[in-house]
Chain A
């Protein structure tokens, strides 16, 4: 079975700083997808960024980028020029041949003014 581990329960940075959230996963599959989701207090799950395992190039979406290390089974999220609106829970998730998403335990990120 796949597992996803987020080792940082909480993180806090100042506005405009760069922050990196860590995620590792375990799988025997070769084709899969990885995601970072944001969950603000409203509970709404928002997709931040996705990475296809067969692509070597790291995904980027504006201020959000990932560092995908397939051999190490590592998938970290970097948020540049952090903003107050980035304050939320962040979840790393894996999707393989089965359709379900497997989530990590989450990292609570606080951006301070």
Chain B
């Protein structure tokens, strides 16, 4: 079956503009994650969805960042008034439902969106 897909693959924008990044998880995966990867760095957690609720938003760096998810499907990460420090690769991952005390389910990653803010 299809893996996690993300669009666009690359996005170049001007400082101050808003951008929307899209993630389509694997069908049936109820958990969805957004991570940010700055150049030469590891991945930083941004937000986690279980279904369409977000129990953990602790990684969102500022109120310019927001995300939503429609049901157990597509998610959109929105960055308002972009700044140059927002330039990074934004990666999305999905996994099967989390069950407390159960085995961890592998997170499958998409190819990412490279965002460049000029």
Residues of A within 8 A of B (CB): 4, 6, 33, 42-45, 47, 50, 52, 91, 93, 95, 98-106
Contacts and interface: CB of A to CB of B under 8 A. Distances in A.
A37 to B, nearest CB: 8
Contact of B33 (A47, A50, A99): A99
A100 B48 contact: yes
Contact of B41 (A4, A101, A105): A105
A43 B43 contact: no
A33 to B, nearest CB: 5
Interface of B: 31, 33, 35, 40-45, 48, 50, 56, 59, 89, 91, 93, 98, 103-104, 106-107, 109, 111-112, 114
27 contacts: A4-B42, A6-B42, A33-B104, A43-B91, A44-B109, A45-B43, A45-B91, A45-B93, A50-B104, A52-B103, A93-B43, A95-B104, A98-B56, A99-B31, A99-B33, A99-B98, A100-B45, A100-B59, A101-B33, A101-B35, A101-B45, A103-B35, A103-B43, A103-B44, A104-B42, A105-B42, A106-B42
A44 B111 contact: yes
Contacts, number: 53
The B interface is mostly helix, strand or loop, or mixed, namely: strand
A47 B50 CA distance: 22
B103 to A, nearest CB: 8
A101 B107 contact: yes
Nearest to A108: B40
Contacts of A52: 103-104
Nearest to A106: B42
A45 B6 CA distance: 13
Residue of A33, A101, A102 with most chain B CB atoms under a 10 A cut-off: A101
Contacts of A50: 104, 106
A44 B37 CA distance: 12
